[in-house]
């Protein structure tokens, strides 16, 4: 079966991906539930990967039930008549956002949300955009223009020429970039850079950016695609900084791990161009009833089951234990392994891409799935669900102990 599937992927999907899957001897996934994935042979893997999608785990029963019920009623929208799902989901999402966020536009992916965020910046007069080193906002052309990694950008140059990258947490460089412009400037950043290796931006840096945006008449665009919806131990990572963004990008966890769903939320002022003409931006599948059913159920679960608090508690426990394991090893290991994290967004920096690849395979061989970091190849990420059991945590700790002895 495995050879047949890989053959089809090689011939009809993607040759390089099929080649890598074969080289890594990756199994064929068959089913999933909560934090577990079963392969074609019935072997169970713990999903500490998923790139931030599965904060509720796989197939949370309340999300699945909501989606199944919606399928029986109306899975897709006419796009002509009024959608009650869109009305209720918009309010439910806005209600959990920072104060002054009033409007929501639903998309299908984080990259789509970034594209709309950039369009809102342009529509509000921001012709210049400041982004950060280490950033990742997606791989569509607009999103790629504000994503820092050159390996992703170079094959598609020229991209937007109005983007300037500033070193993260470098306040002097940030002020200098704003000082060059007399017109409104848009600033885009992840409060915690996920693909960049799990770096939390400082309070001072983010507050300076918001102040400079306000002074320029521009927009503060907060990318919470990965860090939002309880992932970092708060509903939104920006909440810890007491900043209200002009525009916020939402994704990944909004799906509930069941149906792809993402969104852009904004203040009334930032959203004004779309309020004036709704045809400025549209999406055939964005905001479909089944996606919105998943989103509404996800928000209900996040609140009723106190997922942010769970993520904060579990994340700190994992951080403490992994650091204890590292410190118990010799000084060489301590110098080469750095663990960073906010809630259940955790990065294990092992110093080089080769060592990160080795750690990934060592954990995989012990049935632990992880995520690589697209803008920091030296860091392996853990982005598990918030409903891990003690036995599952023990399995992670045992696998990590064995893995770091071998890399």
Helix (H/G/I), strand (E/B), else coil: 354: helix
**Whole-number pLDDT of residue 334:** 55
Cis peptide before 209 (omega within 30 of 0): no
Contact 141, 152 (CB under 8 A): no
Contact 25, 14 (CB under 8 A): no
Helix (H/G/I), strand (E/B), else coil: 184: coil
Residue 189 CA from chain centroid, whole number: 12
Residue 146 CA from chain centroid, whole number: 15
**Whole-number pLDDT of residue 331:** 56
Q: From CA 401, how far away is CA 305, in angstroms rounded?
A: 31
Q: How far apart are the first and last CA of the chain?
A: 32
- Beta-carbon count within 10 A of 338 CB: 16
Contact 24, 364 (CB under 8 A): yes
Q: From CA 188, how far away is CA 129, in angstroms rounded?
A: 7
Contact 59, 259 (CB under 8 A): no
Contact 213, 243 (CB under 8 A): no
- Give pLDDT tens digits along the chain (407 positions): 889 999 999 999 999 999 999 989 999 999 999 999 999 999 999 999 999 999 999 999 999 999 999 999 999 999 999 999 999 999 999 999 999 999 999 999 999 999 999 999 999 999 999 999 999 999 999 999 999 999 999 999 999 999 999 999 999 999 999 999 999 999 999 999 999 999 999 999 999 999 999 999 999 999 999 999 999 999 999 999 999 999 999 999 999 999 999 999 999 999 999 999 999 999 999 999 999 999 999 999 999 999 999 999 999 999 999 999 999 876 555 568 999 999 999 999 999 999 999 999 999 999 999 999 999 999 999 999 999 999 999 999 999 999 999 98
Contact 47, 36 (CB under 8 A): yes
Question: What six digits make up the tokens of 135?
Answer: 């950033």
Q: In the 3-class helix/strand/coil scheme, how is 47-77 assigned residue by residue?
A: ECCHHHCCCCCECCHHHHHHHHHHHHHCCCC
Identify the architecture of domain 61-304 in CATH.
3-Layer(aba) Sandwich (3.40)
- Beta-carbon count within 10 A of 228 CB: 32
Q: 23-52+306-406 domain in CATH 3.20.130.10?
A: no
- Beta-carbon count within 10 A of 277 CB: 9
Q: Name, in order, each residue with C-beta under 8 angstroms of 35's C-beta and a sequence gap of 6 or more.
A: 46, 47, 48, 54, 57, 58, 384, 385, 387, 388, 389, 392
Within a 13 Å sphere around the CA of 150, how many CA atoms are in the beta-carbon half? 1
What's the Cα-to-Cα distance from 324 to each of 199, 204, 230, 313, 351, rounded to whole Å?
20, 30, 25, 17, 19
In sign, the C-alpha dihedral spanning 361, 366, 369, 375 is: negative
DSSP state of 384: -
Please list the residue range(s) of the chain that carry CATH number 3.40.640.10. Answer: 61-304
Q: From CA 139, how far away is CA 296, in angstroms rounded?
A: 27
H/E run at residue 268:
helix 268-276
Q: How many residues does the chain have?
A: 407
- Opening angle at CA 312, ends 307 and 316, nearest 5: 145
Please list the residue range(s) of the chain that carry CATH number 3.90.1150.10. Answer: 23-52+306-406
What's the Cα-to-Cα distance from 195 to each of 94, 128, 134, 279, 287, rounded to whole Å?
26, 24, 8, 33, 26
Q: In the 3-class helix/strand/coil scheme, how is 107-167 assigned residue by residue?
A: ECCHHHHHHHHHHHHHHCCCCEEEEECCCCCCCCHHHHHCCCCHHHHHHHCCCCCCEEEEC
- Beta-carbon count within 10 A of 204 CB: 11
Helix (H/G/I), strand (E/B), else coil: 29: strand
């Amino acid at each position: 079966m495995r050879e047949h599937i890989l053959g089809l992927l090689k011939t009809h999907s993607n040759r390089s991906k099929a080649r890598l899957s074969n080289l890594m001897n990756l199994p064929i996934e068959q089913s999933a539930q909560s934090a577990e994935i079963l392969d074609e042979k019935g072997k169970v893997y713990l999903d500490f990967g998923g790139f931030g999608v599965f904060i509720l785990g796989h197939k949370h029963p309340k999300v699945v039930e909501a989606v199944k019920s919606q399928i029986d009623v109306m899975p897709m929208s006419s796009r002509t008549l009024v959608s009650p799902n869109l009305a209720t989901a918009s309010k439910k999402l806005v209600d959990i956002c920072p104060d002054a966020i009033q409007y929501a536009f639903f998309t299908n992916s984080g990259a789509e949300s970034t594209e709309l965020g950039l369009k809102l910046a342009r529509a509000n007069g921001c012709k210049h955009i400041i982004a950060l080193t280490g950033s990742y906002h997606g791989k569509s052309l607009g999103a790629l223009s504000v994503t820092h990694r050159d390996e992703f950008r170079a094959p598609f140059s020229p991209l937007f020429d109005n983007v300037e990258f500033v070193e993260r947490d470098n306040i002097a460089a940030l002020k200098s970039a704003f000082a060059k412009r007399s017109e409104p400037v848009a600033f885009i950043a992840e409060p915690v850079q996920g693909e960049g290796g799990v770096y939390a931006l400082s309070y001072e840096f983010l507050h300076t950016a918001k102040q400079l945006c306000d002074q320029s008449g521009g927009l503060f665009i907060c990318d919470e695609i990965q860090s939002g919806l309880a992932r970092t131990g708060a509903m939104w990572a920006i909440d810890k900084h007491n900043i209200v963004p002009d525009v916020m990008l939402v994704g990944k966890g909004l799906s509930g791990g069941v149906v792809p769903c993402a969104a852009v939320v904004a203040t009334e002022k930032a959203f004004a161009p779309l309020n004036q003409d709704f045809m400025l931006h549209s999406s055939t599948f964005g905001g479909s009833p089944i996606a919105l059913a998943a989103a509404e159920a996800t928000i209900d679960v996040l609140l009723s089951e106190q997922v942010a608090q769970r993520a904060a508690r579990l994340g700190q426990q994992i951080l403490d234990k992994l650091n204890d394991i590292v410190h118990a090893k010799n000084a060489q290991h301590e110098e080469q392994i750095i663990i960073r994290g906010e809630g259940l967004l955790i990065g294990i920096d092992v110093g080089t891409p080769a060592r990160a690849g080795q750690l990934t395979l060592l954990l995989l061989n012990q049935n632990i799935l992880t995520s690589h970091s697209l803008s920091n190849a030296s860091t392996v990420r853990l982005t598990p669900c918030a409903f891990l059991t003690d036995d599952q945590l023990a399995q992670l700790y045992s696998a990590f102990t064995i893995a770091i002895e071998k890399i």
